[in-house]
Amino acid sequence: MKNLIFTLIIFVAAVGCTEQASRHEPQGEKVLLISFDGFRYDYLDKTETPNFDELVETGVISEGLIPIFPSKTFPNHYAIATGLYPENNGFVGNNMYDPEMDSRFAIRNREAVENPDWYQGEPIWNTVEKAGKNAGTMFWVGSEAPIQDMRPTFWKKYDESMGDSARIDSVVKWMTLNNEKEIDLATLYFHFVDTQGHRFGPDSPELVEAVERADDLVGYLMNRLDESELIETTNLMIVSDHGMSSVSRDRIVVLDDIINPEELDMIAYSPVIMANVSEGGKLDEIYQSLKENEEHYKVYLKDEIPDRYHLKDHPRIPELTIVADPGYTINTREVFETRPEYPSGGAHGFDNQEKEMHALFLAVGPDIKNGYKMKAFENVHLYELMTHLLSIEPAQNDGSIDSVSVMLN
């Protein structure tokens, strides 16, 4: 009798596992990943957004998408693409120095941006291509470099002047070629929400106009997907890389009041200063001065960086990291005196646990629940989610499908 009961328990458990697996068996054929840079988690509450609202009603929205630290554009877009934290994919900031390469990276340095040596890990478009499927990237961090000596089937060099609707039209065309180059994964990127957030701040009328422009684009996108008969086969994810905080001249930290800035070799700038000590400078003395005057910022030696930042175990992390408190700007007296309007508007890069740094996540499609709101989650899990939806084997990553499977049918 005991053996019979045990056998029945095993059978029921096996059936349950089978049902669970089949329940999450992807039905969609394609994934479309869209980023509105700098779109904070709560921006949909700032104005009427009928097109976003329709997706919320028929899909899944989270309480926020938690960025990796630093909450900057390049590190977060590449974390989404690879499912890796900065110390594992090498992207530790918008500006970096690699001592092994003896070279600096800056996001506006085209030679650096297109150099694959800066990019570690495997981006989703490479995973797709390795699985025998096709990918098309309309502007995504890393997609302009031949990482692992590979390119997606279609890719575009970043061109900020390219029209919004033209970007959508190009991607829809790639998704409907009806030949061997038709793509299974597509990415889209739009910068204008972040631009207005920086210039005018997250509570400005100009930011509201940018949110409304994004809503109009979502309406246009859904019409194009419907016309092209992609609605029933495409899982759509709308994300952002980070949020935005208001900054002002009233909340500044002047480095010269604490140390001699000339003793620092600055690599990254406010709100997260990354620096090495210049030749002749004394690390211990500089650190102690910063630590003793630690107000409106936190200072860390490399081995003191909090584990939750997933940042310290990489050679691109310099000797000192100084993190400004939310809304504060830390810089030299010279910068403040020569730029009387600085800082103003908005900024990001702050601690990724701060709610104002959290971004938008919204998904809809044949494998996504209807009208479901989920808890905030880290963006590194999106890589696993995309590989699951495309039924392909993921590369090594720091994410987990279990962290996001609650959104699946």
**Which residues neighbour 47 within 8 Å (Cβ) at sequence distance 6 or greater?**
208, 211, 212
User: Residue 325 pLDDT more than 90?
Assistant: yes
Q: What is the mean pLDDT of residues 118-128?
A: 98
Please confirm, yes or no, whether 73 is among the known catalytic residues.
yes
Q: CB atoms < 10 A from the CB of 257, how many?
A: 8
- pLDDT, one tens digit per residue, over 3-45 is 544 444 444 444 444 444 445 788 989 999 999 999 999 999 9
Q: In the sheet where 372-374 sits, what is the strand order?
A: 154-155, 135-137, 185-190, 30-36, 234-239, 361-364, 60-62, 372-374
Spatial separation of the C-alpha atoms in residues 153 and 251, rounded to whole Å: 47
List % helix, strand, coil for the chain (3-state, nearest 5). 40, 20, 40
Active-site entry in 73, 137, 234, 321: 73
Q: What is the pLDDT of residue 25?
A: 85
Residue 16 DSSP label = H
Percent of the chain surpassing pLDDT 70: 94
Q: What is the pLDDT of residue 280?
A: 81
Q: What is the pLDDT of residue 263?
A: 95
- pLDDT, one tens digit per residue, over 229-267 is 999 999 999 999 999 999 999 999 999 999 999 999 999
Q: What is the pLDDT of residue 20?
A: 44
Sign of the Cα torsion 66, 68, 74, 80 reads: negative
Computed over every residue of the chain, the mean pLDDT equals: 94
**Which residues neighbour 67 within 8 Å (Cβ) at sequence distance 6 or greater?**
76, 79, 241, 242, 243, 352, 357, 358, 359, 379
Q: What is the mean pLDDT of residues 140-164?
A: 97
Q: What is the pLDDT of residue 3?
A: 52
CATH of domain 252-344: 3.30.1360.180
Q: By three-state DSSP, how is residue 315 classified?
A: coil
CB distance 201 to 245 below 8 Å: no
**Which residues neighbour 222 within 8 Å (Cβ) at sequence distance 6 or greater?**
51, 54, 55, 231
112-128: b (≥16 Cβ within 10 Å) or e: bbebeebbbbbbbbbbb
Give the distance, in angstroms, between the CA of residue 123 and the centroid of all CA atoms in the same chain: 13
Spatial separation of the C-alpha atoms in residues 143 and 160, rounded to whole Å: 15
Type and span of the H or E element at 338? helix 333-338
Q: What is the pLDDT of residue 281?
A: 83
User: Residue 79 pLDDT more than 60?
Assistant: yes
Percent of the chain surpassing pLDDT 90: 92
- pLDDT, one tens digit per residue, over 291-303 is 999 999 999 999 9
Secondary structure (DSSP) of 177-238: --STT--SEEEEEE-HHHHHHHHH-TTSHHHHHHHHHHHHHHHHHHHHHHHTT-GGGEEEEE
Confidence tier at 2 by pLDDT (50, 70, 90)? very low
User: Residue 76 pLDDT more than 50?
Assistant: yes
Q: What is the pLDDT of residue 213?
A: 98
Q: What is the mean pLDDT of residues 339-348?
A: 97
CATH of domain 26-244+353-407: 3.40.720.10
Where along the chain do its domains lie?
Answer: 26-244+353-407, 252-344
- pLDDT, one tens digit per residue, over 92-117 is 999 999 999 999 999 999 999 999 99
